[in-house]
Amino acid sequence: MTGLKKPELPDSALPDRRITWRLHASPSLNTLPDGQSLALLVRIYRLRSPDSFLQAPADTFGDANREKELLGDDLISVREVQLVPGQRHEATDKLPRDIGHVGIVALFHHPAVGRWRYAFPTAPSELTGIDIGVHACAMTVHGGQPVGVSGERVRSAAVACPGA
């Protein structure tokens, strides 16, 4: 027979995505104005859509009730990773297909504007992985392409920290 092909499987019938992500903490991590490095809490969000995540104000994050209120049905789950200066953390997560994006928030003491939160689409991230540098007041992206931000801007570690 010619001209017949198998029907495409719905996303729900496909296997979970496997996404490898890496966090590389700088020795100058989450610094205070006097230059002292501190541990940093990074929150990883499983999201249906990145829209409410990217629009939420900074004070939303770290407060579970406020996150649920503002992220609503977009939020599937959250987990935390505690980083210390100079630490490297790597993990591979299995994500069901209904998780369209992974959001990452670094809860810096003095965050640089626009450099403390990113959302990554899961489909391309399955191929590229997500590789993030975490510095004094900002994150840099070295693997994966965050939603709505240019590649050059997110790869540069040259950021003036507030209060420095």
pLDDT category, 161, cuts 50, 70, 90?
confident
- Give the position of tokens 């490297």: 88
Q: Considering only CA atoms, which of 138, 141, 161, 157 is closest in space to residue 149?
A: 141
Confidence of residue 149 (pLDDT cuts 50, 70, 90): confident
Q: Which domains are seen in the chain, by residue range?
A: 16-155 (2.60.40.4150)
Q: How crowded is residue 143: how many other Cβ atoms within 10 Å of its Cβ?
A: 14
* Residue 24, C-beta contacts closer than 8 angstroms, at least 6 positions apart: 88, 131, 132, 133, 134
pLDDT, one tens digit per residue, over 66-92 is 999 999 999 999 999 999 999 999 999
Mean pLDDT calculated for residue range 133-157: 86
Q: Which contacts of 59-65 are long-range, i.e. CB under 8 A and separated by 24 or more positions?
A: 61/105, 61/107, 61/117, 62/105, 62/107
Three-state DSSP string of 35-47: CCCCCEEEEEEEE
Q: Which residue has the tokens 């049905």?
A: 73
Q: What is the structure's pLDDT at 136?
A: 95
Instruction: Report CA 16 to chain centroid distance, whole Å.
Output: 19
